[in-house]
Chain A
Amino acid sequence: METNKINNYGASFKRSPIFYIITRIVVLFFIIIIIFPLLYTLSLSVRSPETVYSARYFLIPYEFSFANYIDAFVNAEQKLKVSFPRMFLNSAVVTSLSVTLIISMSIFAAFAFSHLRFPLKESLYNVMIASVAMPAQVLLIPLFYILIYLGIINTYQAVILAYAGFLIPIGILILRMFYEQIPYELTEAGTVDGASDFQLLMKVLLPLAKPAIATCVILLFLDTWNEFIYAMIFMQDPTIHTVPVGLAKIGTSRYQVNIGTYSASVMITIIPVMIIFAVFQRWFIAGMTMGALKH
């Protein structure tokens, strides 16, 4: 369908051989630029440790081996006291709990913003919109002390609550916009039939809001899984490091490691995301595009 649309108004684009050649060269150039660093790192990581330095500038290794991956696990645990399985577990716990918390609260709050009346509604909403533009670092120092006073620094709760405070406006913004797009007749019909506001939300709005919730899940998943500075400062205990924090520790440590081990460590964090992306790529692209349009 998409191609038909292009053919309709692309006449002079199709006629021009210069345009055809330029687009091929430019797009190929960018694809190589994007793929090369990742492929190169992957290629270094699957060589046997002895051949990492020899002939290392060809993408295809001549001696395959997964020894670097074993070294990466061992190096992380012995030298830096962080372990990859533990990092993934920590990230999974933090991400899933933050996303669940943010979405379950946003579902209700966004309903209040879209269908109910309360004082200072639009002012509060404007503060939320403004806070989306604020960089996370602005809150860093006071948050650090608030979490100390609450006695939850260096626990999962510290980072989960910090993420919730920082990301809840995104959930509310997207869901409010979506609730308000649902035709007024539907909710009116519900109230005429005697549905309470709670039933209206649960039975009419939520089933329709599934795509909006999927968008939120994707955006929040990426924001929390990849987040670095809060996770680094609020959870300094090596046993609860998340993936980016542990990886940064490995990658910037003063212990010199073999480039194969280094590359394997980086690839361990990239490959799972690559697999998830390969499966859900349409949702990721659609979700991030929709999320951007909220601004």
Chain B
Amino acid sequence: MAQTGPEPNDLFREGALASLLRLQWFIRMRFVMVGVALAALAVERFVVPGGYRPTGLIATIIVTGVVNVVWMLMSRWVARDLHAGMDSHGRAMHRARQFANAQVTVDLLLLTLILRYAGGLESVLAIFYLFHMGIGALLLRPMQAVIQGTWAVVLYACLGLGELGGWIAPHYDLLPYLPAPGLYQHHAYVLVAVLVQAIAVFGTLYFTLRIAQRFGEQEAQLRRALTALRSSRQAIKDLQARRARFMSTAAHQLKSPLAAIETMAGLIRDGYVKDDAAQQTVESIIRRCRDAITGVGDLLTLARVQQADPHRHRTTRCSVAEVLKAVCTPREAEARRKGLTFALDLPAGDVLSAHIDAADLADCTDNLVENAIKYTPGPGAVLVVARRIQRPAADDAVALDFVEIEVTDTGIGIAEVDLGGADARSVRSPIFDAYRRGNGAIEAGIPGSGLGLSIVREVMEQAGGEVDVRSQIGTGSTFRVRVPAAVEGVPAAPAAGPLGVATGGAAAATSMLW
């Protein structure tokens, strides 16, 4: 049979078993019992001179002590394996359970022998059967505990019925100097005693097993909470590390234009720039000032998007068509000045309602359109298309409605290595990382903050959308974003987007600052 993980209730039993083994609780109790019994018999011998005790009783108590020494030696071996880092649900735990099972089995047999020499069915020492049932139900698996209960009842019944039927010699009394009641000779008493003992044994088992089950469920809940806590702690540590890296990179990107400005101003001051070139250097200084301002603006946009409540998208409906018109109108003029043809293709009679914050969608699409124009030399073309599509959900069970926006250009394209390989065209592509820029863009000397695409990814992840890219050097690029469509009469999209990226607070926190 294949090895499976422990049942939730076993978690508690295993914990209790391990603790008891470590403390050698069974062993200590048994040594105390043996010591107390032998001391009581010794005192009795002096206090009650006529008290006679059979050799069998003393021998059984001594055998219990000797067997206990064996258990003690074995328990060190079992406990060592259990705490030596072995698989806690594997062989060591199985061995520990067998060890406890064996102790209960032998204890019940020795207890019956002691009863045989100390009162038989009439002895009050029979209460110790119940003591073992409580321990067995807490530590053993339920079926093992029930078998031990049956074993106890069988032993007790054999003792009573054996004496009654004359198959075994009559027992010795617990207190031989008192008149013997002789109840063991009455059929009715023996039957009632065995029946009461059976009810007590299985009743104890039932209630203790139920309590152990409750403890087990609580233990499982605590362990799940602990696992979740550890995982959250790790997520927070990862987030802090990413935040530190991001801060360091952002500081560098903000310092770079300032450093270039200081260097160029120094060149003018120190006479490295001739008078006729000074004007050009001043223009460069002004341009770098603008770069710095743009970089700070993009950083503020990213911070705003990350800090906003990610649930706002699901409770919002915006017209993608209207947002695209607002974004594309000024960009179209810019494209034409650069000698590019520009087209916005929207379906007739459909406002393309979607669950996304309008301002965030505008930021997102404006970055894509701005990039398309920026990285396409004239003559060329930029095409923006929006349409309604159906995509399977994360579990492939239901097709969900999305609004897809596609921005295609005939520009310089992005090298496969910058996209992160042939298969990395999704949101995981490093081109969406903050401050990551393609070598082609750097080579062409096209300025950029390196934050535009990380803003796009952040918005899409929060809105439960998708983003992907296809590009080829010299041919152009196509960026595609899909946002959950808002359908009349249909409630907002579920929290988990088709990427499997939850849009809840915790997920948003971990997606911050890539």
A binds B: no
